[in-house]
Structure 1
Amino acid sequence: MEDGLNVSVRFVLYLDLTLLAGLPLIGIVGFHRYAHQVATAIRLRGLLIALAGIGLALSLCHMVMLAMVMSGASEITELGRHVFSMIITTTDAGIAWAVRMVALMLIVLLALYGRVRSAVQLKCGAALGFVSLATVAWSGHGAMHEGALRYLHFTADIVHLIAAAGWIGALVTFSLLLRPSQLASSAQLRLLHQGLAGFAWIGTIIVLALVVTGVANYCLIAGVQLSGLLSTQYGLLLLGKLGLFVLMLSLAAANRYHLTPMLERGMATGQASVALPGLRRSLVIETGAAILILAAIAWLGTLDPSQGLTPQLP
């Protein structure tokens, strides 16, 4: 029961922080000078406030769970202020948690009192989102190492998380732009096409980053070997995650080389609506696969990779 709750909190927190970083990121790099239009279309201000608020609440829950594990307490009432003070001031995970809380509160303030449609405010929001998401690395398997290897693993984890945020942020942004209410004019269709076409080169960089850092993370955890992948829970989850990644890659390729050109041709002939149902279906499936991958990551983070996957660290 406790393990299930831990995985659930981690999963929702990962999804929340991924969107918090990814939504402003895709507006900046995928739409360039049209970023403010996208921010308005997807109601980014409200999304940032909601996501940051949820992130704060989930982070508090996660800290309580961490405190119970580290103190050995069986009830929340057994936790004293000194336990939280010790974790936040003397452990890397606690310091990372405190940094995340500050970043999330700054996002709320930025969204409430700033102009998230401006390029500077969007960049600030994205930067704070990156910081909050990067802190997740300190609750992962990177903490199993010491010295330089520890920070190499953290770096790989952070790059992996940011690349994933870019991809998932793009999927959610395109899905929101594909709502019928957002496609009432040719200008809105051009905005959608601009994002889909602009994501082509960004997607290539994201895929390369995910592959390189994914391989690096596996090698840092299990070494250069494949034993145990089919005989352990950790290995099977890892293979499931890889299968979902391949599915996402296939759908992204179909979007890039078939559906986006179809939309462009339809816009030229006044029949853009022909391509829209296919795009919606593809994005729904791809987003669903991404959510399942985040669930797998949350689960993997609670498992001991040494059980069946013997580390062979350099």
Structure 2
Amino acid sequence: MTEGALIGARFALMIDLALLMGLPLFWWAMGMAGRKSLLVILALGGMALSALWLLASAAAMTGTPISSPDWASAQILLTMTPIGPVLAVRSGALLLTLACLLLPQGLRVALIPAAVAAATLAWTGHAGATEDMAGTLHRAADVAHIWAAAGWIGALAVLLHAVVTLRHDVQRVAAMLGGFALMGTLIVATLIISGAINLVTIVGLADAPALVGSRYGMLLGAKLALFALMLGLAAVNRWRLTPLLERGEAQRAIAHLRLSLAIETSAAIAIIGLVAWLGTLDPMA
């Protein structure tokens, strides 16, 4: 029960912070206006979910139910472990995000503290426990992985909303899909390279065969399978469906796009769930 609460809190927090960074990143890259009110909700949600994650971590540490918070353990986590500084940086970044949204060009400016808030996730998993130079490399790769994933998730959210609510502006959707091509390529390359670094740092090449048959190995395999599915769907969207839109074959293309983006988004959500679970496991157990 306590493990499930911790995984759930990690999952919700990852989704929230990924959207908080990913949405303004995509809006800025595509030259879109965006919605400040949505980012305000996400920033406030990030604060609430961070508090929930702290309580879930304390519950997992002591084995007590999260419904009866162990405030003493939570205080220990805040004052005697790296969790305290991580939450302080994240809270400051989220507050700064809210402040930036009050500015005329707030969406662009808010992207910077939102990226900092998302980056703090790297210190709450395996990367946070890696020491010395290997730890620095691991955290740098993990931050790059988080930022790339956030960019993809933000793009999926906007694109899925566009094709679901589409009425007549087919060319606008085609332009968004075409404009995302370069950004998507950079995201995929970053995910592959940073993911490989993370795997080698966490497990090591020599111990990689030990993952076969383990819970960690099976969950990692599921994550990689879903990632491959997302790559396949993204390729279909780029090379098959976008040209159909550009040629004016809207009715046929939009129906397929809606299904493709819905599946791709579902796969992304499932991957985040697996990552939330993987972060609580010992790879060698």
TM over 0.5: yes
Tell me if the contact between 1:68 and 1:79 (Cα under 8 Å) persists in the aligned partners.
Answer: no
Q: Distance in 1 between matches of 2:8 and 2:177?
A: 32
- Check conservation: 1:52, 1:108, Cα contact below 8 A: yes
Report if aligned partners of 2:148, 2:190 keep a CA contact under 8 Å in 1.
yes
Aligned to 1:66: 57
User: Alpha-carbon deviation of 1:152?
Assistant: 0.8
Amino acid at match of 1:178: V
Larger Rg: 1
TM alignment of 1:76-155, pairs within 5 A: 76=68, 78-80=70-72, 84=75, 87-111=77-101, 113-115=102-104, 118=105, 121-155=106-140
**CA–CA separation in structure 1 for the residues paired with 2:37 and 2:69:** 35
Residue of structure 2 in register with 1:311 after alignment: none
Structure 2 residue ranges without an equivalent (≥5):
none
Aligned to 2:202: 221
Inter-partner Cα distance in structure 2 for 1:264 and 1:243 = 31
CA contact (8 A) 1:73 1:79 kept: no
Alpha-carbon contact 2:6-2:60 (below 8 Å) kept: no
Aligned counterpart, 1:189: 170
- The match for 1:252 is 234
Deviation at 1:68, TM superposition (A): 4.5
Say if 1:178 and 1:145 are closer, same or farther in 2 by CA, change over 3 A: same
2-structure distance, mates of 1:93, 1:124: 27
- How big is the shift at 1:108? 2.8
Aligned pair 1:304/2:282, yes or no? yes
Q: TM-score, normalised by structure 1?
A: 0.84
Using the TM superposition, give the Cα deviation of residue 69 of structure 1 relative to its aligned residue in structure 2, in angstroms. 5.0
Residue of structure 1 in register with 2:7 after alignment: 7
Match of 1:263 in 2: 245
Task: Answer yes or no: is 1:231 the counterpart of 2:216.
Answer: no
Q: Which moved more, 1:283-292 or 1:141-150?
A: 141-150
Do structure 1's residue 159 and structure 2's residue 144 form an aligned pair?
yes
What CA distance in whole angstroms lies between the structure 1 residues aligned with 2:266 and 2:190?
Answer: 21
Match of 1:176 in 2: 161
Change (3 A) 1:50 1:83: closer
Partner of 2:192: 211
Counterpart code for 2:125: G
> Alignment identity in percent?
40
C-alpha displacement of 1:83: 5.4
Q: Distance in 1 between matches of 2:80 and 2:167?
A: 52
CA contact (8 A) 2:100 2:107 kept: no
Match of 2:267 in 1: 289
Letter in 2 for 1:250: G
* Residue-pair matches, total: 282
Q: What is aligned with 1:312?
A: none
Distance in 1 of aligned mates of 2:127 and 2:91: 21
- Secondary structure at 1:275 match in 2: helix
Q: SS where residue 114 of structure 1 aligns?
A: coil
Helix, strand or coil at the partner of 2:235 = helix
Question: SS at 2:32's partner residue?
Answer: helix
1:253–1:102 CA distance, 2 compared to 1 (3 A)? same
Following superposition of structure 1 onto structure 2, how do residues 19-30 of structure 1 map, counting pairs within 5 Å? 19-29=19-29
Question: What corresponds to 2:18 in structure 1?
Answer: 18
- In structure 1, give the amino acid aligned to 2:32: A
Stretches of structure 1 that go unaligned for 5 or more consecutive residues are 308-314
Which whole-Å CA distance do the structure 2 matches of 1:273 and 1:90 have between them? 59
Structure 1 contact 229–239 (Cα < 8 Å) conserved: no
- Structure 2 CA distance for partners of 1:253 and 1:67, relative to 1, 3 Å: same
Q: Which runs of 4+ in 1 moved over 6 A?
A: none
Q: Does 1:273 align with 2:251?
A: yes
Sort the Cα spacing of 1:189 and 1:290 in 2 relative to 1 into closer, same or farther, 3 A.
same
CA distance in 1, matches of 2:7, 2:111: 26
Hey, what's the Cα distance between the residues in 2 that align with 1:218 and 1:198? 31
Asked if the contact 1:177/1:183 (under 8 Å) is kept, the reply is: no
CA RMSD of aligned residues (A): 1.9
Deviation of the 1:77 alpha carbon: 5.6
| Post-superposition CA distance 1:31-67 (Å, at most 9, x none) | 1xx322xx1xxxx222112211221111011122334
Give, in angstroms, the shift of residue 89 of structure 1: 4.8
